[in-house]
Structure 1
Amino acid sequence: MGAPRPAQRQYLDVPFAEKDQAKALGARWDPAARRWWSPPAAAAALQQWAARPEIPELLPGEDRTFGSGLFTDLVPSSCWFSNVRSCVAAGVEWERLRRMLLARAGRRCEICGRGEDRAVQRWLEAHERWAYDEQAGVQSLRRLIIVCSDCHRSTHYGLASVQGRGEEAFAHLCAVTGMSVAQADAHIEEAFALWRRRNLRAWALDLSILTDAGIAMAPPPDRDQRPALAEQRLGEQRAAEQRGVEYQPREPHPDAARPWVSPPVPRPDRAQAAAESAATEPAAPVAPRRWWQRGR
């Protein structure tokens, strides 16, 4: 008897870090579905990765029209490491959410429309759209989208600069939006001015579109751990780029099924900001490209 047809396969939720272990116990890879599945004979051995219910395509309270297009988007320093990759518990929970986001986006960037291309190291990544309630001091997650690494780099312009790829990020911003150099300069300056204003206070996080969907959350790293973790992740990203593979960050915390709120924190100086901006996806509070050129 041959292998079960795709519709009959018992798919698994196997975290990337555990794929070799699952494979050794009999799991097989479905390249079309991009997912591991269990042959009947290996079902008992692979039970620990039995699939959980799928996450609904529309998260509770999510606004799929919020925050369209490509723009520089800087996260206040009190909420660094609030990107979805750091917030969602490692392992199965992240794989479930990532699979849903990729499927509903048709495995295309929701900004420029391009797909993944390993030959040029263009990956598909999750990105957050945040709303800010200035009166209540709450930063609310309103939407999750899939973006290519090029659009993500332009969105987090400061991080791109820390990585030595600011020129690429600037050029991509202009190419996708149609902005002139002067318009892109003004846009980035406005984004950093808004960041500085928002950074004068500490923001509480509202992640209810995830927690209300039953997605387990992980607490962020302690603030005193962030600079060292940022340096570590920047090194890991560079090593992954040199190998031509997608960066898979290691989680600093075990799974935790509780929401969290960031505590009040003092505003960091620029040296600390530049170090912390090397985290996987938080916005980087460093000066825009042409500010450096003007000596500001």
Structure 2
Amino acid sequence: MAVERIWLDVPFAEKDEAKAAGARWDQAARRWYSPRPGIAGLGRWAARADVPRLLPGEDRSLGSGLFVDLVPSSCWFTNVRSCVAPQDWDRLRRMIYARAQNRCEACGAGQDREAQRRLEAHERWTYDRARQVQTLKRLICLCTDCHTVTHFGLAQVRGLAPQARAHLIKVTGLTPDQADRHIAEAFELWQARSRTTWTLDLSILTDAGITLAPPPDAATRADLARDALRAEAGGVPRQFECEGRTGARRSQ
């Protein structure tokens, strides 16, 4: 008789270790599993309950479509993945991709290894200026190309701005002039938001049973962002230097 597979939550960094311990990979489900019960060494990756398809308090209508969605400089490189325990991240991203039927929620594309197009999770936030709180309100599935558009400033650092602009035009139907205005307006909004040091509200995750590591405190995020940018660009370009006491920067 066939034995039901025992699913595992294996972080990417631990896949080789899990494979050596006897785990197998299901290409269709894109998930690791134990082929039989009782394999010593695989218990540490035993799957927990699936994350609910609608996170508590999540707004699935927020921020639909493709647009430049720049994160304030106070939260650069402090994304959801950096705050979630690796095994819980695996549970979370699996839910995000599954409810999107493994398609990009902006352009409809699927994963294509030959085209180097992956599926990735992206955060949508709301901003309460009075309370200085940046609240996670939605998680969406984007392909690599659409994700590059949303983080247009990072695309600039990586030398991908022309490709990102072309993809924005292709998906949205904007004219080149309209696309340029949209990008400029997104940076203006980003500059205004970057003058505030935001407190992160990730309660839609904690209320769903996701384990969080404490995010870096606001006072250290600027240093983390600067170090990460140096790693990306081999040195912080002039446009990324701090603007006086506000700590706002000119590009994401």
TM-score by length of 2: 0.88
Offset of residue 65 of structure 1: 0.8
Bigger shift: 190-199 or 57-66? Answer: 190-199
Call closer, same or farther: CA 1:41–1:210 in 2, change over 3 Å.
Answer: closer
Q: Deviations over 1:31-75 (max 9, x none)?
A: 111111112265333111111111100000001111101111111
Give the 5 Å matches for 1:1-296: 4=3, 8-40=4-36, 42-89=38-85, 91-221=86-216, 222-223=220-221, 224-232=223-231, 234=232, 270-272=239-241, 285-286=250-251
Alpha carbons 2:240, 2:250 under 8 Å: kept: no
- Which AA in structure 1 matches 2:133? V
State the distance in 1 between where 2:165 and 2:250 align. Answer: 16
State the distance in 2 between where 1:204 and 1:26 align. Answer: 43
RMSD: 2.1
State the distance in 2 between where 1:116 and 1:79 align. Answer: 28
Call closer, same or farther: CA 1:285–1:55 in 2, change over 3 Å.
Answer: farther
What SS does structure 2 have at the residue aligned with 1:139? Answer: strand
Offset of residue 225 of structure 1: 3.7
State the distance in 1 between where 2:250 and 2:78 align. Answer: 15
- Which AA in structure 1 matches 2:251? V
Corresponding residue for residue 244 of structure 1:
none
Alpha carbons 1:84, 1:126 under 8 Å: kept: no
- % identical equivalent positions: 60
Gaps of 5+ in 2: 243-248
- Which AA in structure 2 matches 1:13? D
Alpha carbons 1:25, 1:42 under 8 Å: kept: no
State the distance in 2 between where 1:157 and 1:225 align. Answer: 19
State the distance in 2 between where 1:41 and 1:132 align. Answer: 47
What SS does structure 2 have at the residue aligned with 1:129? Answer: strand
Bigger shift: 34-43 or 162-171? Answer: 34-43
- Which AA in structure 2 matches 1:124? L
Offset of residue 187 of structure 1: 0.7
State the distance in 1 between where 2:22 and 2:192 align. Answer: 54
Alpha carbons 2:122, 2:147 under 8 Å: kept: yes
Alpha carbons 1:141, 1:209 under 8 Å: kept: yes
What SS does structure 2 have at the residue aligned with 1:37? Answer: strand
Alpha carbons 1:74, 1:156 under 8 Å: kept: yes
State the distance in 2 between where 1:227 and 1:115 align. Answer: 33
Runs of 4+ aligned residues of structure 1 deviating over 6 Å after TM superposition are none
State the distance in 1 between where 2:192 and 2:227 align. Answer: 26
- Which AA in structure 1 matches 2:109? R
State the distance in 2 between where 1:76 and 1:62 align. Answer: 21
What SS does structure 1 have at the residue aligned with 2:123? Answer: strand
State the distance in 2 between where 1:227 and 1:106 align. Answer: 36
State the distance in 1 between where 2:37 and 2:93 align. Answer: 28
What SS does structure 2 have at the residue aligned with 1:119? Answer: coil
Offset of residue 285 of structure 1: 4.4
State the distance in 1 between where 2:250 and 2:93 align. Answer: 27
- Which AA in structure 2 matches 1:20? D
- Which AA in structure 2 matches 1:203? W
Q: Deviations over 1:173-214 (max 9, x none)?
A: 011111001101111111111111112221111111011111
Call closer, same or farther: CA 1:225–1:197 in 2, change over 3 Å.
Answer: closer
What SS does structure 1 have at the residue aligned with 2:114? Answer: helix
Call closer, same or farther: CA 1:219–1:229 in 2, change over 3 Å.
Answer: farther
Q: How many residues align?
A: 239
